[in-house]
Each structure stands twice: as C-alpha cells, then as structure tokens.
Amino acid sequence: MRKLAVSVAVTAILLLGQGSAAQATIPDVFDGAVSCAVQTDPLIPLPSGAQSTAGQRWCGTGTSNLLSRSTAKTFDGVPIDVNVAFPPAPTSGPDGPYPLVMIFHGYSQSKINFTAMQRWLQRGYAVFSMTDRGFHESCGSTASRDADPTGCADGWVRLLDTRYEVRDAQLFAGMLADEGLVQPQRIAATGGSYGGGLTMALAALKDRTMLPDGTLVAWESPDGKPMSLAVGIPSIPWTDLAYSLVPNGSNIDYIEDASYHGRFGVMKESWVNLLYGIGLSVGEGRYAPAGEDPSADLSGCLSLLSAGEPYDGRPEAQAILDEIKAHHSSYYIDHGEQPAPLLIYSGFTDDLFPVDEATRFYNRTRAQYPDARIGLIFGPNSGHMRGMSKSDATAYQESIENQWVDHYLAGQGPAPATNVHALLQTCPASAPVGDPYVAKDWASISPGEIRLLSSTAQIVSATGGDPVSGQIFNPAPLGQACAAAPGGKESGSADYELSPAPAGGFTVLGAPTVIAKIKQAGDTSQLAARLVDVAPGGLTKTLVARGLWRPQGDGFQVFQLHANGWKVEEGHVLRLELLPKDASVPAGLVANYGRPSNDQTDAVVSDLDLRIPVADMPGAAGGLVKAPAAKVLPDRPGVKLAPGYGPATPIDDYVPPRKRRLAVGAVRIVGKRLQLKIRCQASASTCPRARIVVKGATRRTRGTLARFAGVTVAPGRARTVRTRLTPRGRKLLRQRPRARRIAVRVTVRPRDLKAASFRRSARISRKR
C-alpha cells in the first residue's frame, strides 16, 4: 500500500511538472487504431540542419513492411498503412490542435517515415502520410491481404482516383481534426510524382470531396467539421495523366485551355512499361484483374497501348481517355471554384511529367481567377529519369516552399509572390545551377525569341532515325540529362540548324514552337521532334527539348516541344530534328521513349517556322534575338491566348514565311523624291524587315532609281515611305522632261526570305 501511494505521488508530481503531459503522450490516433509514442532519443539520424526529435510524438511504425505496418480503415473499409507525427508538447499553452502537413509518396513507394517528416515537424507542424491503397501494406503485399481479407477484397491500385486515394487522405485528415489534434482549415499537401498528382487533386478540390459516383460534396470530417486545404506544394506532378502518358502534341503553353484534344496520342513506351513493372515488383502492387474494374484496369490499358495503332475511332481507346480524365487528373476536376493556393515545381528534364503539366493548370486558373495564388518553380531536378539532383536547386526550391507553407499554415510573413522561377539545366551534372530567372508570369520569363525559317521541303522517312541516339536519349530506366550522342544528322530525318551561337551565346528558356506544313499518308503515323545542342566540330549533341506529335491531317500545324532552360555557348549549334520516332528498337519493353507507330509512313515537311523562346532581350546575341512574333493558335474550338500573351493568328490564317511579304501599291515621283505605298497582309503573323529597290523596267529607263533600307509594317497595316532619288533617277527625269509616267520594277527583299518583285507604273509630279 505504501509503495502504491508513493507511486501515485510521484506520478502526480511528474504530471504537474510537465504541464500538459497527459496530452503530450497522445496515446493513439484514428479512434485507437494506431498507437503513438513520445520520443526520448535525440541521436536518431536526421536530415541536415534538423534538431533533436526528443519529445516528438510518433504514431505508427515508421517503415512499411510485412512485419511492421500500422493500418486504419478508410471510408470503404480498406486498411491503409499510415504514419502520423506531432511536434513536442509546449511547456506552456495548449497542446494543439496543430496545422497539418500531408506528405504523399511516389508510384510504387510507401508512406513517408518519421525521419523524412522532420522538415515539417521541426517547423511546428503535425505531419501525416499514408501508403496509397494497393501498394505494400495497404493491401498490396500478400501478408497485408491475409491480415484483412475482407477489407482488402477490392483494395487494389486505383491509379490515384479522386474518388478513392484522394478521398482516403481527406478522411484521415478529418479524423485527426475530430480528435482535436489538427486544425481543419490549416492543412497543406505535398509530395512528388504520384504524390504530386494527389496534391494537385486536393488543391483543385480545396474544400470538396468526390464520392464514388463522381458527385462533388463539401469536404467534412466524420463529425461534420468543415475541412479545407490551405496550400499545396506539389513536386513533379501530373495534371492530365492521359496526356502525360500518351501525348498527342496538342498541349500549347500559351493557350488558355490545353485539355487533351484531337487524335489519340503516342505512348511513352519506356515510362509506361517501367511504371507498370515497378508497381508490381518494387511496390508489391495489387492490380485489378483485367476487365473486372474499368476504372482501375491497368492491365487492360497497357495491353491496348502496347498493341499500337490504330487507336482512333476505337471505343475502348476513347473509354481509357475518358476514365483517366474524369477521375485521375486534377485538370478535369470541376473548376467552378478557385483552387487552394498552389506552388508547383516541375523538372525541365523530366520526360514523364514535364513542365507543361504545370503550365496547363496555371494558365487556365489565371484566366478564370486573375487573383488566384499560384506560382511556378522550374529547374533541372526531378525524381524521374533524365532529371538531375543538384543540391543548390533543391535548397532554392525548398526555401520558397517553406515561405508558402509558413504563410498559409502559420500566418508567418507576407503573402508570397506568385512569381515564376526558372533554374537552368547545367552540365556536367555536378555543375552548379546558377542564378534563377524570375518573372511575374510564364509569359514574361522569355522576353526574346530566335526564329528559324525554312521554305524548303524535307522528307521524314518512315525508316529514319539513329538507334544509338534513340537509346542514349531514352529516359527510362537509366537516362541522364547530360548524356551526349553522336552529333551527325540522323538518316531519314528533317533537320533545321541555326548558325553557331555568337560570342556570349544565348539562353533557351521556354517551349520551342514548330509551325509547319505537314503532308503524311495514312492515319497511324507520328512525328517526333528533338532540339539538340551540337558541340563545335559536330562530334556530339546533347538533348535540349523533345516532343511527340500526332499529325492532325495535311496542312499547316502547330505543336511544341517540352520547355527547358539551357545556355547555348559560343560556337554551339541548335538543331531541330524531326524523326519518325523517338526510339531505338522495335516496339516493346523499355528501350524506346516513344512507341514506334504501326504502319508509319513518310512525311513531307515544308514552310517550317521554328520559334525558340530565350531569356535574352531583343537585340541580344548580335541581333539574333528578336521580339516574339504573334502566337499561332492551334486548330481547336474556342481556343484563346492565356493571360500575358500578345497578338495571335489562327492557324487557318497563318501565312508561311515564303509568302509573307510587303505588297507594293502606288508609286510616285515627286520632285527629287520617290514614294511608294506598302502593305503587310492582315493574315501574316509578322512581315519581316525588308530592303526595297526600285529600278526602271524598260531598256531606256534601266538603272536603280531609289533604295529603301529596313522597311517595316505591322500586319494588316499600310504606310507610305519616301526616299531621295539616286543620281541615276534624277538624270532620267532630266532626260525625259515631258514624261508623266515611267514603268518601274519594285523588288522587296525581306530578311532571311525570298525576294518578291512587282511591276508598277510610277506617276511623275515635277513640282513638290
């Protein structure tokens, strides 16, 4: 009895000395399903700069394996493996509720462990993570299914379905709010790749939940508390999963709505096959039996894609696109409500989820909600192959992300600027990333443009391409951003080269745009585009940008390569390569970036207009850099320019370079001066600066009468230009004192384009 009294007294003293020690234990979460423990060991290995973990409350097993799982039931009874952690209890004041950071893993991976949570725990936030359903101990492993066969009956991978995996995260956050542990309106989401896609979906939903029938309802906790996401910081996410896996080239980074439009695209073969395989092996993934669940039929989808063309017109192919858009892509979540504040990071060298996955969501959001809080960071780093891992780029990204989370979760500091930040790809991989480029929006990040115009027709052979280059530039499974391929032109390709970069070089920053007339027989072919940097001497080339294009019939078309940031050094040559495939071997497995098309045919490409956005100002690089030309809008219903962009020309009104010219009107000689009226076509995106020479058109009037240098006219405008007659012109007038008209030939020579001649009758006025 005495021992019991002493024990009670000691316990009471300890409780009084620790203030809220009873709460500090937080014995469990999720209605007792997962137990918690207070940490006492400050010597656990931590990320650089982190402090001791002593006093933190860790709930769950940390790791995820068959001997170590900590599951809680989600809304439909599937057991989900979870981890939750809380900062140390304060020495005074209430112990929570805390702002919550939810961290989500990549495809085939598992819940985030407590060491990786330290970035946010050390800043005073509660942290939650889960293993998405169908992977590892969330019904992926045999052991997890044996432990709960009923709950795991259909607990398979649903490819980040808004109705399931996304709702799982919302439910667990609500349960923590009901337990008084987290604040229901101060929740952040973050994660990379698969986790980035989940974060994008949460931000698009903001305060809504999608039910299994697709209905959107208010996001509430189980006890009815209103829930809302305060901020999202996704990393290398997708927004349109169909486009990221099977692109058709319809995404343009300067239009307001870049939803999937047009023909069924080209399978990113190495990536799709690799992801499917590692989901099964590394992720212990449980895929739905083929044909059993159309909304999660990964095996059936892969089978259709692997068989190849024809895709167009097949109901089963369209059904795949429709399902992925409806339930697996944040871009297609109802956007009648402004999304949560978003800071999106994407990798310039990421061939799986490239930069256009971010610009697509960014452009439409800013067009619909001009005051939306949405910012972008682009750089060379990425968790996907050909991505890099530069410590200075990581530090820069994290510093901006911290500002966003601290402001929206803790109210610290002013509202962060919604700028666009760009860090260049630098080689070798160990090279520092350099200073960032920062602009108010994506449209402003590239103030200049370099253009290459070619009217010559070239053939892209159905059998063209170099297998060696295709293998070197293939991203998965071992691709490297700085890998160099043989520098020669590839057989059967169409090639377009700039002149060697002048002293000081220039910096590519943005998405190169290709406008060209394409003629190709059949309806199963593709074109692959690469922009490469050819080293002086031409021995090697490095990939700068790439794109896959499903031609939309014969005629003028516009498509883009994925954006990048890349410095072209003095003497280096940029080359656009158009190929029948971005591949190295016949279709199958993981050796090809883009799956070679069935029944590929030759393509004839003519009147090509390549526009390369650069960070340099107009006039830089010895005058090579110009002001950006009017954008060319693709052929799609209701297409509009995104905010920040200037004039535009519909592709139907596009005039090819060889036909863009200044039309010559009336010619007059007034006293000792010659004047002529010139006009630029309204349908032209630009009329280049031109030199004009006026000569006599007959044997008796032979000779140059007048010269004009650097004449410019805006599209759809006309102007009258004047200049002094040459000595030959003045002599001719003296020799023909009674003449009232004279036949002349006017030759217009636009910069970099073929000259055009006009025969006119010049009226002569002797007196001014």
Nearest-10 crossing angle of helices 298-307, 269-280: 150
Residues 606 and 516: their CA atoms lie apart, in Å, by 6
Global pTM exceeds 0.85: yes
The predicted-structure confidence for 217-267, as pLDDT tens digits, reads as follows 999 999 999 999 999 999 999 999 999 999 999 999 999 999 999 999 999
Q: What is the pLDDT of residue 8?
A: 34
CATH of the domain at 499: 2.60.120
Residues 106 and 115: their CA atoms lie apart, in Å, by 17
On the question of pLDDT at 689 being above 90, the answer is no
Q: Are residues 676 and 637 in the same domain?
A: no
Burial of 754 (0-12, 13-18, 19+ CB in 10 A): exposed
The predicted-structure confidence for 415-455, as pLDDT tens digits, reads as follows 999 999 999 999 999 999 999 999 999 999 999 999 999 98
Q: Are residues 534 and 587 in the same domain?
A: yes
Task: With H, G, I as helix, E, B as strand and everything else as coil, classify residue 52.
Answer: coil
Residue 465 lies inside a defined structural domain of this protein: yes
Q: Are residues 585 and 647 in the same domain?
A: yes
The predicted-structure confidence for 81-112, as pLDDT tens digits, reads as follows 999 999 999 988 899 999 999 999 999 999 99
On average, the pLDDT of the chain sits at: 93
Q: Could you tell me which residues are beta bridge partners of residue 235?
A: 192, 345
Last residue of a domain, one of 623, 653, 683: 653
Q: Are residues 649 and 670 in the same domain?
A: no
Would you say the C-alpha torsion 229, 233, 235, 241 has a positive or negative sign?
A: positive
Q: Are residues 525 and 639 in the same domain?
A: yes
Residue 308 Rama label (left phi>0; alpha psi -120 to 50; beta): left
Residues 462 and 466: their CA atoms lie apart, in Å, by 12
Q: Are residues 632 and 705 in the same domain?
A: no
Q: What percent of the chain clears pLDDT 90, i.e. is strictly above it?
A: 86
Residue 623 lies inside a defined structural domain of this protein: yes
Q: Are residues 731 and 645 in the same domain?
A: no
Residue 248 lies inside a defined structural domain of this protein: no
Q: Are residues 672 and 638 in the same domain?
A: no
Stretch 314-320: mean pLDDT: 97
* 133 touches 160 (CB < 8 A): no
Q: What are phi and psi of 470, to 5 degrees?
A: -60, -40
Q: Are residues 635 and 666 in the same domain?
A: no
Residues 617 and 621: their CA atoms lie apart, in Å, by 9
Q: What is the pLDDT of residue 766?
A: 77
Residue 535 lies inside a defined structural domain of this protein: yes
Q: What percent of the chain clears pLDDT 70, i.e. is strictly above it?
A: 94
Stretch 270-286: mean pLDDT: 97
The CA angle 73-76-79, to the nearest 5 degrees, is: 30
- Host domain of residue 704: 660-765
Last residue of a domain, one of 625, 653, 681: 653
Measured in residues, the chain has a length of 768
Residues 736 and 535: their CA atoms lie apart, in Å, by 60
CATH of the domain at 756: 2.60.40.3580
Q: Are residues 474 and 536 in the same domain?
A: yes
Q: Are residues 690 and 578 in the same domain?
A: no
Where residue 750 falls among pLDDT bands split at 50, 70, 90? confident
On the question of pLDDT at 202 being above 80, the answer is yes
Residue 701 lies inside a defined structural domain of this protein: yes
| CB atoms near residue 19 (< 10 Å) | 15
Residue 83 lies inside a defined structural domain of this protein: no
Q: If DSSP states are collapsed to H, E and C, what string results for 341-390?
A: CEEEEEECCCCCCCCHHHHHHHHHHHHHCCCCCEEEEEECECCCCCCECC
Residue 596 lies inside a defined structural domain of this protein: yes
Last residue of a domain, one of 633, 653, 673: 653
Torsion of CA 304, 310, 315, 320, to 10 degrees: 40
Residues 175 and 184: their CA atoms lie apart, in Å, by 10
* 473 touches 546 (CB < 8 A): yes
Residue 214 lies inside a defined structural domain of this protein: no
**Alpha-carbon distances of 386 from 383, 452, 660, rounded to whole Å:** 9, 27, 40
Per the omega criterion (within 30 degrees of 0), is the bond before 580 cis? no
User: Based on the structure, what is the number of domains in the chain?
Assistant: 2
Q: Are residues 463 and 521 in the same domain?
A: yes
